[in-house]
Amino acid sequence: MTYETVILGAGAAGMMCATRSGAGTLVIDHAKAPGEKIRISGGGRCNFTNMYASPENYLSQNPHFCKSAMARYTQWDFIELVDRHGIAWHEKTLGQLFCDGSAKQIVAMLVQEMQAAGAELWLQTSITSVDRTAEGYRIKVTREGQTTTLNARNLVLATGGKSIPKMGATGLAYDLARQFDLPLTDTRPALVPFTFSEDRFKALAGVALPARLSNDRTSFDEALLFTHRGLSGPSVLQLSSYWREGEQISVNLIPETPVFDLLRSQRQEAGRKALTTELARHLPGRLVDFLAPEFDLNGRLADQSDAALRNLSDRLENWPLTPSGSEGYRTAEVTLGGIDTDALSSKTMESKTIPGLYAIGEAVDVTGWLGGYNFQWAWASGVAAGSAI
C-alpha cells in the first residue's frame, strides 16, 4: 500500500500534523485509542494550551529552535480551533486553559479534523520495521494479525517520549532516530516529583502550601505538596526540569512577605505569643510541628533577639534540601531532551540531511514548562510539519 505520508503516533503532535498533511496520510498507533495522554491530561480536563506561551517557557539545547513554529501556530490559533468546535473552556491559573467538560472533547476534535482533511487512522497496529527506499520509506506493520508493507514518500516520527510507559510510551522515535543517524541529546524524566531518602517527609504527607523553589539557575513560585515519598506539586514539577542528580534545592516557605520584618513587627505587637503560634498563621500547623525541633522553634516572640529572628527567617526563606532522586518515567509528565534540533529545520521539522523524514512533538529536544506548554509545542510542531508536507 502506498501513502504520501505515514505518521507514526496518533498523539497530540501526530494527529495535529495529519489535520494539515490531509489526504494521502496514514496515522499509525499501537494503542487502542488515539490521544491517550490528551485524555488523561489535566485531571481529565486537558490543559490544552497556555495564554502566555512563548519560547522562554521551553527547555532545549537550542532555545531558539521552537520560535518559528510557535510564531506560526500560536495558542490563539488553537483557541480558535477549540471555539470553532464549540468546546467550552476556562482559565484555571497562570494562563492555563482547561476544558470545562472533558479532555475527550479535544481528542474527538482532532479525530474529526483529521477525517475532514482526508487522513486515515490505524490503531492497534505494531510497527515491525522502518527502512529507507529510493522513493521514500518502507514501513512494515502488523494489524489484526496481518503483516502489511506500507510505502510512503514522507515519514513523521511522532511517537512522543518515554514518560509513563503504562500509557503506551516507548522509545521508538529515539530508536528510529539512531537508525537514521539523527543525533540525540540526553533524555531524562521531567515535570516529575522529587524523592527523599528515609521517609523524610512521611509525617507531612498531604500538607500543601504556596512556596518558592529555586536552584542556581531558576525559581518557581507555585504550590508545594509533601508526599509519602518526597515533594510534589507544581513548583516541584517545574524545578525538576532544571534539576540534576545530587543538586541541592532551596525552598522559601513564606515567599510573599519578608519573614524578618513580619516576625519583628509581631514581636512588638504581640510579644507574649508563642513563636510556633505566630508561624502557624503563615504555615500549615503540621509543618510548624515538623520544623520545631529542626529549626529550634521555642519560646515566645518576645524571647527572640533580632539575631535569632534573622537566623530563623533565613532558614524559612532558604531551606536547603537535597532530593535523593525523582519518581522517574513512571510518573514524569514529559521527557526532557530527545532528537537534537540541530538535525531538523525549525520551519518544517524535516531532517536537514534525510529528505522526507520529520520529527515532531515530545520526541524532539523541546520541553515545555508545566501548564499547557507541552501541548502547545505538540500543536505547533505538528502544524509546521503537516503544512510543509
Binding site for ligand FDA (CB under 6 A): 9-14, 29-31, 36-37, 40-42, 46-47, 127, 158-160, 163-164, 168-170, 172, 333-334, 361-363, 372-375, 378
Strand partners, 89: 99
Q: How far is the CB of 242 from ligand FDA (least distance, A)?
A: 17
Min separation Cβ 230 and ligand FDA, Å: 18
By residue count, the chain amounts to: 389
- Shortest reach from residue 203's CB to ligand FDA, in Å: 27
| Sequence-ordered list of residues with C-beta below 8 angstroms from that of 18, at least 6 positions apart, any chain | 7, 25, 27, 114, 117, 119, 121, 386
SS3 216: coil
Q: Which is nearer to ligand FDA, 37 or 267 (CB)?
A: 37
SS3 for 219? Answer: strand
Closer CB to ligand FDA, residue 30 or residue 212? 30
Find cell 543525533 and name the residue. 183
To the nearest 10 degrees (0 to 180), the angle between helices 306-317 and 259-269 is 140
CB of residue 338 vs ligand FDA: minimum separation in angstroms?
9
Whose Cβ is closer to ligand FDA: residue 186's or residue 294's? Answer: 186
Name the residue nearer to ligand FDA (CB basis): 36 or 278: 36
Q: How far apart are CA 113 and CA 101, in angstroms?
A: 19
Q: Which residue is nearest to ligand FDA (CB)?
A: 11
CB of 183 vs ligand FDA, minimal distance in Å: 19
H helix runs in the chain, sequence order: 12-21, 36-44, 67-72, 75-84, 104-117, 172-179, 234-240, 259-269, 275-279, 285-295, 306-317, 373-388
> Which pairing describes strands 230-232 and 125-132: parallel, antiparallel, or unpaired?
unpaired
- Which residue, 169 or 384, is less far from ligand FDA as judged by CB? 169
Nearest approach, Cβ of residue 377 and ligand FDA (Å): 7
Which residue has 490531509 as its cell numbers? 22
Beta bridge partners of 184: 339
Kindly give the pairing relationship between strand 146-157 and strand 357-359.
parallel
- Interior CA angle at 72 toward 69 and 73, to 5°? 85
Residue closer to ligand FDA (CB basis): 18 or 127: 127
CA atoms of 204 and 122, how far apart (whole Å): 47
> For residues 58 and 381, is the Cβ–Cβ distance under 8 A?
no
Closer CB to ligand FDA, 45 or 267, in the complex? 45
CB of 228 to ligand FDA, least distance (A): 19
Which of 24, 95 has the CB closer to ligand FDA? 95
Q: Smallest distance, Å, CB 139 to ligand FDA?
A: 11
